Structure 1
Amino acid sequence: MHYTYQDIMELDRIDRLKIINSITGIKPANLIGTLDKDKTTNLAVFSSVIHLGSKPPLLGFIARPRSVDSGHTLRNIEEMRVYTINHIHPYFTKEAHYTSAKFNPSISEFDRCGFSEEYIEAFEAPFVKESVVKIGLRLKELIPIPLNGTTLVIGEIAHLVMPDTAMEYGDMDLEQLRSTGISGLNSYYELKKIAQYPYVRAEEVPDFDKIKISE
């Protein structure tokens, strides 16, 4: 199977969305929690959260074009300057997925989809109580992407909440935390740790044979 740019652009809209959203591989599954000035909360599923740096601790995610941002996540972040990112776990992937519905702005996805709000003192944005890993962020920068009307939202971590047992031998064990991943628009995956290697220094790289691909 070989698609050219023209082939991709001529695909049915949903087929194109599913293919292009899947070819990057498994992406982190998160719920982003926000609220507006009237204190109405909002919750939306995202698979575009990325690490941007650790000093300062920055995370980014891509917000859809404003014309289709029915969840009002971007608007709320602009207004309140705070938001949360919460890992999705296997026992609530269905509820998390349905936060993507186009609800009326007056309806909170927390209530409609069965989630509980949780708060940290002096931090207004709602966390997902059911999540094991929760991150509270303060907005640092919004970078418009003119090519497709999306926005890169950059936040600085103000709060990081996770179990005492989350770190194993200096690394976060996402399998033990049962964090999930997303492929495409609607497929959810559990993560399985398959290996752990040391920090790489050029002089310590082994001599490798050519990788053999099974027929």
Structure 2
Amino acid sequence: MNSISGFKSANLIATKSKDNYTNVAVFSSVMHYGSTPAILGFVLRPTTVIRNTYNNIKETDFYTINAINEPIIDDAHHTSAKYSAEISEFNKTNLNTEYINGFYAPFVKESPLKIGMKFLEEHPIKVNGTILVLGEVIDLHFDDDMILDDGMLDLSAKKIATINGLDTYLIPKEKRKLSYQRPK
């Protein structure tokens, strides 16, 4: 069932608790929800067990979304392992924290696309106990060579991964870019 909807974005969400414990975890449910203001959302699994990412976001309001690219797939996938809040996945992988512009939550240094987020609201999905978390983009960093002449980011240039199901990572390649369509 996790693969029938097609390819999903592959991201690492990084947080830091008020006690300065960092956390980073892989998510395949990040989606764009608006441009003015810039809003991204992700779906969190039920909180019937401890969810360090969720707890840190609720405690501090800040988190980062970091694209997974080909060189960090193995370490990114390992962040799905369940560690206690005092054990940082950064210390269990070759991923490193990076603090930019005094932003509270850490970015993933190895990621070519880093997004600083501020929590806006959450929406419980009653039917299965998941939670839609919405946040505003308040900081954005990407490798300079990713930006195209039209302002779009070339994700395939940095081998940004997608996920199919829970554990299959793919690297898409741009095949064709079509113009904005208007009625004929």
TM-score normalized with structure 1 length: 0.83
Match of 2:168 in 1: 187
Q: Which amino acid aligns with 2:126?
A: P
Match of 1:176 in 2: 157
Q: Which amino acid aligns with 1:54?
A: S
Q: Which amino acid aligns with 1:104?
A: S
Query: Aligned runs of 1:111-122 on 2, under 5 Å?
Result: 111-122=91-102
| 8 Å contact from structure 1 (residues 21, 183) kept in 2 | yes
Equivalenced residues, count: 183
How far is 1:23 from its partner?
Answer: 0.6
**Higher-RCO chain (CA-CA 8 Å, sequence separation at least 6):** 2
Match of 2:8 in 1: 27
Same amino acid, percent of matched pairs: 46
How far is 1:178 from its partner?
Answer: 1.3
| 8 Å contact from structure 1 (residues 144, 150) kept in 2 | yes
Taking a change above 3 Å as real, the CA distance of residues 132 and 162 of structure 1, as seen in their structure-2 partners, is same
Pairing partner for 2:42 from 61, 65, 69: 61
Q: Which has the larger radius of gyration?
A: 1
2:164, 2:93 → 1: CA distance?
A: 21
Match of 1:5 in 2: none
SS at the partner of 2:5?
A: coil
SS at the partner of 2:57?
A: helix
Q: Alignment RMSD, CA only? A: 1.0
| 8 Å contact from structure 1 (residues 34, 125) kept in 2 | yes
1:134, 1:118 → 2: CA distance?
A: 10
How far is 1:177 from its partner?
Answer: 2.1
**Which moved further from structure 2: 113-122 or 22-31?**
113-122
1:199, 1:39 → 2: CA distance?
A: 45
Query: Aligned runs of 1:99-178 on 2, under 5 Å?
Result: 99-170=79-150, 171-178=152-159
Query: Aligned runs of 1:68-87 on 2, under 5 Å?
Result: 68=49, 70-87=50-67
Structure with the larger helix share: 1
Q: Which amino acid aligns with 1:67?
A: T
2:123, 2:7 → 1: CA distance?
A: 25
1:71, 1:146 → 2: CA distance?
A: 18
1:36, 1:191 → 2: CA distance?
A: 34
How far is 1:71 from its partner?
Answer: 4.4
1:121, 1:141 → 2: CA distance?
A: 24
Q: Which runs of 5+ in 2 are unaligned?
A: none
Runs of 4+ in 1 over 6 A off after TM superposition: none
SS at the partner of 2:74?
A: helix
How far is 1:185 from its partner?
Answer: 1.0
| 8 Å contact from structure 1 (residues 64, 150) kept in 2 | yes
Q: Which runs of 5+ in 1 are unaligned?
A: 1-19, 204-215
How far is 1:21 from its partner?
Answer: 0.9
1:123, 1:168 → 2: CA distance?
A: 27
**CA offset digits 1:61-97 (Å, max 9, x no partner):** 00111013x4411111000000000000111101100
